């Protein structure tokens, strides 16, 4: 019986792809290692290689088909002893597929397509008169490109940002537009190139440093804290350091402890830095532009899982989002839920679930962690009298700990229940799919915490 060839997973976060091109026509001979087809993911075009030898029997998925789910049969391969008549027998999956009965566990697919534009309560609103749908990835790239067109002193530097177009394709096209003077591929030498960029910033350049992921910023943390954050103070205000450190932060999918850590509270601890962590594409763009223009070091925390998600983004290139301002992304009366970055999506899911149980949650996207928009949180708690803080990072000395303390200081008389904290489990990130799922905050845990502060268990 013919062998089924399945749509392969080509990256940790891939769930589907486009079958761009067949390179083996029906009837042609196939050797192991031959390229059968080209698959486009949101990141790149990849080649599918044959594992078995035989003859290409039939293409089950036509060229150009989009959104082909991983593991969908895409072709039938005839083995040596078979002729075309075998194609109409029921195909046997390759033995390995039969073994694959333990269903591969995958991170839940994030919501696709355009999310509803949240209600706005600030002066950013006017920019939303004219918008386009963009992914977070595109929004980040546009923010950099627009600022680089405006200001010659802005340049981008990091590992694989140029010729490779970015490990996560955030800098796509920048090398082509701005050249290798301003889009600079570095060796793998984070402590060195961050120190160099801090020096360049003291000398009034405006570097944008891409960390391939924020996990690798640990190599450079001395230069970030001891040099970038503190020198203005130590020089009595002379030595400003206009620099942006950006890149994906937090868990992606199954990349285990050394590559899955949320550094928000680490950086938020340090005076001399600003720390932002946007969720939507509009905020990603508006905040990155503000960060680049800011005369201070800004830690700009992105999230790999969000890169491919689409949102409405204002088209006006003057659109920016001020650092330090939270945003109510879902108004509500019964309980305040604060979140940032990818957890905003989880909080909104939880709010939907809560609505089904008659609890009207107000979701606040903090966007900026340092400075934190405490007034916005207090205003909400004055109305709801209850608050749940959500973050992906560890609970101890986390952003939630800070919010709990601030609510004690600033909203004590308005609280009808103790502040609740939802955070990542207090463990290094495990690799196993089931354990990873358990280690990360899920909408269900947010729902449970919200019900508990509403005394509705």
Active-site residue set? 190, 259
Q: Closer to ligand TPP by CB, 51 or 196: give it.
A: 196
Distance of closest approach, residue 112 Cβ to other proteins, in angstroms: 19
Take residue 231 and report the two structure tokens written for it.
């020198």
CB 448 within 8 A of CB 335: no
Q: Closer to other proteins by CB, 8 or 322: give it.
A: 8
- Listed in order, strand segments (DSSP E) in 9-166 are 16-22, 29-30, 35-40, 45-49, 54-59, 65-69, 73-78, 92-93, 131-135, 154-158
**Nearest by Cα to 364 from 385, 335, 392, 393:** 335
Helix (H, G, I), strand (E, B) or coil at 155: strand
Cα(312)–Cα(116) distance, integer angstroms: 8
CB 279 within 8 A of CB 367: yes
Asked if residue 185 binds other proteins (CB under 8 A), the reply is yes
Asked if residue 289 binds other proteins (CB under 8 A), the reply is no
**Among 322, 331, 395, 430, contact with other proteins (rule: CB under 8 A):** 430
Cα(230)–Cα(242) distance, integer angstroms: 13
**Among 2, 3, 14, 289, contact with other proteins (rule: CB under 8 A):** 14
Q: Which of the choices other proteins, ligand TPP, none does residue 141 contact, using the CB cut-off of 5 to 8 A by kind?
A: none
Cα(375)–Cα(328) distance, integer angstroms: 12
**Among 96, 318, 413, 457, contact with other proteins (rule: CB under 8 A):** 96
Distance of closest approach, residue 210 Cβ to ligand TPP, in angstroms: 11
User: How deeply is 125 buried, as exposed, middle or buried, from its count of CB atoms within 10 A (0-12, 13-18, 19+)?
Assistant: exposed
Main-chain dihedrals φ then ψ at residue 91, nearest 5 degrees: -70, 145
**Among 31, 163, 413, 457, contact with other proteins (rule: CB under 8 A):** 163
Q: Which of the choices ligand TPP, other proteins, none does residue 432 contact, using the CB cut-off of 5 to 8 A by kind?
A: other proteins
Q: Which of the choices other proteins, ligand TPP, none does residue 253 contact, using the CB cut-off of 5 to 8 A by kind?
A: other proteins
Asked if residue 221 binds other proteins (CB under 8 A), the reply is no
Distance of closest approach, residue 287 Cβ to other proteins, in angstroms: 27
Q: Which of the choices other proteins, ligand TPP, none does residue 445 contact, using the CB cut-off of 5 to 8 A by kind?
A: none
Asked if residue 23 binds other proteins (CB under 8 A), the reply is no
Asked if residue 258 binds other proteins (CB under 8 A), the reply is yes
Question: Residue with the closest Cβ to ligand TPP?
Answer: 216
**Among 42, 53, 160, 360, contact with other proteins (rule: CB under 8 A):** 160
CA torsion sign, 189 to 190 to 191 to 194?
A: positive
Main-chain dihedrals φ then ψ at residue 78, nearest 5 degrees: -85, 135
**Contact set for other proteins, span 44-63 (CB under 8 A):** 44-47, 51
CB 306 within 8 A of CB 342: yes
Distance between start and end Cα atoms, the chain: 56
Contacts with ligand TPP, residue ranges (CB under 6 A)? 159, 188, 190, 212, 216, 219
Which residues make up the interface to other proteins (CB under 8 A)?
Answer: 6, 8-12, 14, 43-47, 51, 70-71, 96-97, 99-102, 104-106, 159-160, 163-164, 167, 185-192, 215-216, 218-219, 252-259, 425-428, 430-435, 438-439
């Amino acid at each position: 019986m013919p062998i089924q060839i399945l749509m392969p997973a080509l990256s940790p976060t891939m769930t589907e792809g486009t079958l761009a091109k067949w390179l083996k026509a029906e009837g042609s001979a196939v050797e192991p290692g031959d390229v059968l087809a080209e698959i486009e993911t949101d990141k790149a075009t990849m080649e599918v290689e044959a594992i078995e030898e035989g003859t290409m029997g039939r293409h089950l998925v036509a060229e150009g088909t989009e959104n082909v789910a991983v593991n969908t049969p895409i072709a039938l391969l005839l083995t040596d002893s078979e002729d075309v008549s075998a194609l109409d027998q029921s195909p046997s999956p390759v033995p390995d597929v039969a073994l694959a009965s333990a269903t591969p566990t995958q991170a839940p697919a994030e919501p696709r397509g355009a999310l509803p534009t949240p209600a706005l309560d600030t002066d950013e609103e006017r920019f939303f008169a004219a918008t386009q749908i963009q992914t977070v990835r595109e929004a980040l790239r546009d923010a950099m490109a627009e600022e680089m067109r405006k200001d010659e002193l802005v340049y981008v530097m990091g590992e694989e940002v140029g010729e490779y177009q970015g490990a996560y394709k955030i800098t796509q096209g920048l090398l082509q537009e701005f050249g290798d003077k301003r889009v600079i591929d570095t060796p793998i030498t984070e402590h060195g190139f961050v120190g160099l960029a801090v020096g360049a910033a003291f000398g009034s350049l405006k570097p944008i440093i891409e960390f391939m992921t924020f996990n690798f910023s640990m190599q450079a943390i001395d230069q970030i804290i001891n040099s970038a954050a503190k020198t203005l103070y130590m020089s009595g205000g002379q030595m400003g350091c206009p620099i942006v450190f950006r890149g994906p932060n937090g868990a992606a999918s199954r990349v285990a402890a050394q590559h899955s850590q949320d550094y928000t509270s680490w950086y938020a601890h340090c005076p001399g830095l600003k720390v932002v962590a946007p969720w939507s594409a509009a905020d990603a763009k508006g905040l990155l532009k503000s960060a680049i223009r800011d005369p201070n070091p800004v830690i700009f925390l992105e999230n790999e899982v969000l890169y491919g998600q689409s949102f409405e983004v204002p088209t006006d290139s003057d659109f920016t989002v001020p650092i330090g301002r939270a945003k109510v992304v879902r108004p509500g009366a019964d309980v305040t839920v604060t979140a940032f970055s990818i957890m905003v999506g989880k909080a909104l899911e939880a709010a939907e679930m809560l609505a089904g149980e008659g609890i009207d949650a107000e979701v606040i996207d903090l966007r900026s962690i340092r400075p934190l928009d405490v007034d916005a949180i207090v205003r909400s708690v004055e109305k709801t009298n209850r608050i749940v803080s959500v973050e992906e990072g560890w609970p101890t000395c986390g952003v939630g700990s800070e919010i709990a303390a601030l609510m004690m200081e600033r909203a004590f008389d308005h609280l009808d229940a103790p502040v609740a904290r939802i955070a990542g489990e207090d463990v290094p990130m495990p690799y196993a799919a089931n354990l990873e799922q358990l280690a990360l905050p899920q909408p269900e845990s947010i729902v449970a915490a919200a019900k508990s502060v509403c005394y509705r268990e």
